[in-house]
């Protein structure tokens, strides 16, 4: 009888062990199923997000070119505005110069380019006083 109880207990221990293995396997399968479901859900979310936020390359480059053109246009307008301001300032300074030159009591004589050139190129033998300068070692005229 004791042997039957021991055999019965051993049989129950095997059944419990098999049941544990069965539950562990079911738990592992369930875990794998959830893991696959989470991966699939993440993939679907990524695809949906990509479809919602996708911008074709042509549209993207066109938008970038438009932005660049707008920036260049603003910069050009700024430069043109600065040029206009400078032109106004120059015109104002010219007006002031004209007014000041009209009020000036002393008129300056204008000498032409050739007058200055003539003085610079005059012969070194003829002194500005009109006398000839004799160089050492040169014959008397």
- The whole-angstrom separation of Cα 30 and Cα 23 is 10
Number of H helices, E strands in the chain: 3, 0
Contact call for residues 112 and 122 (beta carbons, < 8 A) = no
Task: Give pLDDT tens digits for 7-42.
Answer: 999 999 999 999 999 999 999 999 999 999 999 999
Tokens 């505005």 belong to residue: 81
Task: Indicate the pTM of the whole model.
Answer: 0.38
Which residues, listed in sequence order, are joined to residue 113 by a DSSP beta bridge? none
Task: Locate 94 and state its tokens.
Answer: 């010219």
């Amino acid at each position: 009888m004791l042997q039957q109880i021991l055999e019965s207990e051993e049989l129950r221990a095997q059944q419990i062990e098999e049941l544990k293995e069965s539950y562990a396997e079911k738990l592992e399968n369930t875990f794998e199923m959830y893991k696959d479901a989470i991966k699939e859900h993440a993939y679907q979310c990524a695809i949906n997000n990509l479809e919602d936020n996708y911008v074709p390359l042509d549209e993207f480059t066109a938008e970038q070119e438009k932005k660049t053109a707008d920036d260049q246009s603003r910069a050009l307008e700024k430069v043109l505005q600065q040029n206009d301001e400078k032109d106004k300032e120059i015109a104002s300074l010219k007006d002031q110069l004209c007014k000041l030159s009209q009020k000036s009591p002393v008129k300056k004589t204008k000498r032409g380019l050739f007058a200055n050139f003539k003085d610079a190129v005059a012969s070194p033998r003829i002194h500005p006083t009109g006398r000839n300068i004799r160089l050492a070692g040169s014959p008397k005229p």
